Amino acid sequence: MKNTLKRIKSFINNYTFLKPVSIFAVIFLITCAGVFLFEAGRNEQFSGFADSLWWGIITFSTTGYGDKVPATTGGRIIAIATIFVGIAGMSFLSGTFASVFVERNTRARRGLMDFPKMKDHFIICGWKDHMKDILLDIIHVAGIITSDRIIIISNVDSDKIEDLKEEAELKEINFVRGDYFSEVTLNRANVKNARKVLILADTFDSAAVSEVDSKSVMTVLTIKAMAKNVYTTVELLDRKYENYLKQALCDEILFSRDFSRQMLANATAINGMSHIIFDLLSQANSRLATRGLPDEFIGKTFGQYKSAFSAFENTILIGILENTGFPHMIKMEALREAQKTSDVSRLVNNLQKVKELEMNRPVLVPSDDYVIQKHSQAIILERSSS
Residue 12, pLDDT score:
46
Check: pTM over 0.75? Answer yes or no.
Answer: no
The span from the CA of 197 to the CA of 268, in Å, is 35
> Which residue intervals of 299-378 are DSSP H helices?
302-309, 327-338, 344-355
Phi, psi of 78 (to 5 degrees): -65, -40
Q: What is the pLDDT of residues 336-369, one digit of tens each?
A: 877 887 777 777 777 777 777 778 889 999 999 9
Residue 100, pLDDT score:
61
pLDDT tops 80 at residue 110: no
The span from the CA of 102 to the CA of 105, in Å, is 5
Domains of the chain and any CATH numbers: 2-109 (1.10.287.70), 122-258 (3.40.50.720), 286-383 (3.30.70)
Please report the sign of the dihedral spanned by the C-alpha atoms of residue 172, residue 173, residue 176, residue 177: negative
3-state class (DSSP) for residue 44 = coil
Residue 149's closest CA among 188, 126, 178, 119? 119
Q: Which long-range contacts (CB under 8 A, 24 or more apart) does 50-55 make?
A: none
Calculate the alpha carbon distances from 363 to 231, 249, 296 in Å: 21, 21, 20
Residue 107, pLDDT score:
63
Contact 357, 334 (CB under 8 A): yes
> What are the residues whose beta carbons fall under 8 Å from the beta carbon of 135, sequence distance 6 or more?
124, 147, 150, 164, 170, 173
Q: What is the pLDDT of residues 123-142, one digit of tens each?
A: 999 998 889 998 998 888 77
The span from the CA of 35 to the CA of 43, in Å, is 10
Residue 35, pLDDT score:
87
What mean pLDDT, rounded, does the chain reach?
82
The span from the CA of 39 to the CA of 42, in Å, is 5
The span from the CA of 216 to the CA of 169, in Å, is 28
How much is the average pLDDT of 150-174? 89
> What are the residues whose beta carbons fall under 8 Å from the beta carbon of 179, sequence distance 6 or more?
155, 185
Residue 78, pLDDT score:
86
Q: Which stretch of 137-151, 179-193, 336-350 has the lowest confidence by average pLDDT? A: 336-350
Q: Name the pLDDT band for 176 (thresholds 50, 70, 90).
A: very high
